[in-house]
Chain A
Amino acid sequence: ETGVTQSPTHLIKTRGQQVTLRCSSQSGHNTVSWYQQALGQGPQFIFQYYREEENGRGNFPPRFSGLQFPNYSSELNVNALELDDSALYLCASSLGGQGNSPLHFGNGTRLTVT
């Protein structure tokens, strides 16, 4: 069984730039959720994708957007990067879009915005 994999592991960007983070879900999982984890904090929900559609969103601005592909992999895109976007971005996969199954996380992408 392949777990959740994320790329890249680390990334440094400049304020105002755009970034794309990628996630491959655990085999058999059709739902992907993205979380932002600031240093010393718990993960904060960004959004969830199920069957290539966004089906839940947290309190994040529209410059945070995503995609899910037919193979259930996913991308998180952030436009117009701000210093406060520096964080660990976590992808989690699960089975079913209703949120009834456990989330399994990848090891995240550490984004630094300078």
Chain B
Amino acid sequence: GENVEQHPSTLSVQEGDSAVIKCTYSDSASNYFPWYKQELGKGPQLIIDIRSNVGEKKDQRIAVTLNKTAKHFSLHITETQPEDSAVYFCAARPPYEKLTFGTGTRLTIIP
């Protein structure tokens, strides 16, 4: 089955700086890659997703890039704000199979 690795496990950045979280996946058949943000006491919230037919997707301060050859995908958050502090999860899904999550990155924005 699919295996997703996520790095780093913790990340602290100064407010206003950029944050990058990286994931690798094992199943070359995976074609859907969402990112979730989980705040304390809440469930994961979908913030952006990308499918394998595109290499990059942006939504305001958030962007995701995908390298299918290397089986890497990354989340980029620019102009970070205190409300960006949370745990972020990447995930990957082959067609008609379950979504497999990474182990999470705890992002702390330092004011």
A contact set with B: CB distance below 8 Å: 4, 6, 33, 40-45, 48, 56, 58, 90, 98-100, 102-108
Contacts and interface: CB of A to CB of B under 8 A. Distances in A.
B93 A99 contact: yes
A45 B99 contact: yes
Interface stretch (B13-21, B36-44, B54-62, B74-82): B36-44
A99 B91 CA distance: 13
A20 B4 CA distance: 30
Contacts of A48: 98
Interface of B: 4, 6, 32, 34, 36, 41-46, 49, 89, 91, 93, 95-104
10 closest Cβ pairs, A-B complex: A42-B101, A105-B43, A45-B98, A107-B43, A105-B44, A108-B43, A107-B42, A43-B101, A42-B103, A106-B43
Interface of chain A, main secondary structure: loop
A43 B49 CA distance: 17
Contacts of A103: 34, 46, 99
B49 to A, nearest CB: 6
B98 A90 contact: no
B103 A41 contact: yes
Contacts of B99: 33, 45, 99, 103
Contacts of B36: 105
B44 A43 contact: yes
Given A43-B101, A44-B101, 11 more contacts: A33-B98, A42-B89, A42-B91, A45-B98, A56-B97, A58-B98, A104-B46, A105-B44, A105-B46, A107-B41, A107-B42
Given A42-B102, A42-B104, A56-B98, A102 B34 contact: yes
A98 B96 contact: yes
